[in-house]
Chain A
């Protein structure tokens, strides 16, 4: 049985390979991975005066950070382009305006020279203010133009002292620029305000927040984040949906990202040839505080406006994302009519029912991720059971009874024929 399964799988694989080999070279499309683009990481370290406090494993917070940095620099994978930025490292004075501009690039994002980077880190002494927002803005500009993944790791021990620029909104705006940036945050102090601010920054970009109390925890977490950046990841292509189907962009198979505002509809178009199947899935991320009930609806609609199929999802409670998907297999063309053989334009409509919590800015819109796959259509079922075959004792019983009755009848018939033959 196993042999026949393998054999069948092998035959299918061979057929698949042949079909794939025969397929015409398709045009390049969006969402294709870019293996050459190196992942980039920017470590942003708080060097404000409060880092002098001795409360991590008996040493100062700064000492813990330096030790962690040294170990991370040793363990950084070869392909990662690493940079270091400081905030509050240079200006010790009381002038708020100057203190809030105090952020500098300690080591530029690029190929890593471990000795040089370590020397630079060793020179740091806790000094000034905590301008998290401005530092994040600058850090976003530190990255090269490559399409690889980009990650900021922010290590801080105090909340931003440079209001009214809310670092959380800064993070959201950086993410909305569509450069595919993630910000992970590490808090060195278990204070409520710091926790709120750092987790808000992380949430805004799909990153993680970690509260750290020991040096080894800090080392492990930063190394983990740097290694995570090294994992190859498909970078989505930016697109912009329209408010109606006619004006919508036409998408090919691939991974796309867009922004969808509260109460907004997003339309996209996909061409589906007869005998092909459209698979689309959509995720809308909650990158800010939202009301606890939410949902998302993805509809496939014909150009004239008839709904073909929909995917819907709803949820309740804490979430990062709400997602759904749909399949639309288009039937084979029945005649050679050119009109019937032409690809059909399917409109995809995305709506979501997130609502922003009170006091939360509603712009920019929520991040939306859309995957589109157009593959060969399925073999449709002609029967519920596989090939119309049966199984079970009832089937055996029925077959035996019918066979027996058929045998009886055949016996009687042949007996009757012999009798007739004898009479003649």
Chain B
């Protein structure tokens, strides 16, 4: 009985610890590759960045700037962009849009997606917090799914006189791990990465043309998650143990201790 109590308490403690631990924060900035210093000008030429990387680009006002980053199931990506404007300019409106691997526009839950910079301001900051990426959704829904995400940064409303002036852009994508609360059943066979059917076919054919172009070669640092793990296993497991302990408790309460009253010893 005592052993059971101790084990139970230990498991409960473990569960309490595992709860918050599973809701860990976003991945650390990538150490390996240097941050890109240019941006693409279309979906096809989007510059690939990793989460936590600060990508910069020198561009002209009026350009459409594209980046892409990977987001995995259970993450809630946040895209932040800063545009450095020239010394003299009229009032301009800038916008950041996020598209998924199927080039569907993804809604921002919060964040200033569109902002107008008054004449003469030196910079404008934009942000977009996406919905949590699900491992699976019905084909008729446009829920965010694991795969490539495109960021498009552009001036929405630009006075003709400011067209073509040099601007500096800075983009960073981070993600918050939403833990088991967002875990769903089902999974995609391949992440929503454009051109993946062509890419995987080349891998299968063991093509040795190493630097051939692909639409999107994006992958999170530690690979795409398989989708079977979530902290729901811990919760449910602890629930099962607690139920067993409570069961033993209830049994002990009604069964009484040892032999029933009135039974002579040795009977």
Contacts and interface: CB of A to CB of B under 8 A. Distances in A.
B228 A404 contact: no
B250 A234 contact: no
Interface centre among A280, A318, A389, A410 (most CB of B within 10 A): A389
Interface in A351-409: 369, 371-392, 395-396, 398-409
A325 B104 contact: yes
Nearest to A235: B213
Contact of A208 (B63, B202, B246): B63
Chain A, interface size category, equals 35 or more
The A interface, classified by DSSP as helix, strand, loop or mixed, is mixed
Interface centre among B158, B233, B252, B254 (most CB of A within 10 A): B254
Nearest to B205: A25
Contact of B154 (A4, A6, A318, A410): A318
A32 B201 CA distance: 10
Contact of A329 (B139, B194, B209, B256): B139
A401 B139 contact: no
B175 to A, nearest CB: 16
Given A209-B60, A371-B194, A391 B164 contact: no
Interface string B186-221: 111110101111101111110001011111000000
Contacts of B240: 399
Contacts of B214: 33, 234
Contacts of A419: 260
Interface centre among B41, B60, B194 (most CB of A within 10 A): B60
B250 A377 contact: no
A306 interface: no
Interface string A216-256: 01001100100110011111100000000000000001110
A381 B136 contact: yes
Interface stretch (B77-85, B116-124, B176-184): B176-184
Given A309-B139, A373-B195, A318 B158 contact: yes
A179 B104 CA distance: 27
A11 interface: yes
Given A5-B225, A404-B250, A395 B235 contact: yes
A60 interface: no
Contact of B231 (A279, A391, A412): A391
A422 B261 CA distance: 11
B30 interface: no
A408 B228 contact: no
A255 B164 contact: no
Interface stretch (A42-50, A67-75, A165-173, A191-199): A191-199
Contacts of A29: 198
A174 B142 CA distance: 36
Interface of B: 15, 18, 21-22, 38, 41-45, 58-60, 62-64, 99-105, 135-136, 139-140, 142, 154-158, 160-161, 163-166, 180-181, 183-190, 192, 194-198, 200-205, 209, 211-215, 222-233, 235-236, 238-240, 242-256, 260, 263
Given A232-B212, A255-B44, 7 more contacts: A35-B213, A208-B41, A380-B186, A390-B236, A401-B246, A407-B250, A410-B254
Interface of A: 1, 4-6, 8-9, 11-13, 20-21, 23, 25-26, 29, 31-36, 187, 190, 192, 195-196, 198-199, 206-211, 217, 220-221, 224, 227-228, 231-236, 253-255, 277, 279-283, 309, 311, 313, 317-321, 323-329, 369, 371-392, 395-396, 398-412, 414-415, 418-419, 422
16 contacts: A8-B226, A21-B204, A25-B205, A206-B41, A209-B163, A221-B60, A233-B45, A236-B44, A323-B43, A373-B194, A373-B198, A375-B200, A378-B136, A391-B180, A396-B15, A422-B260
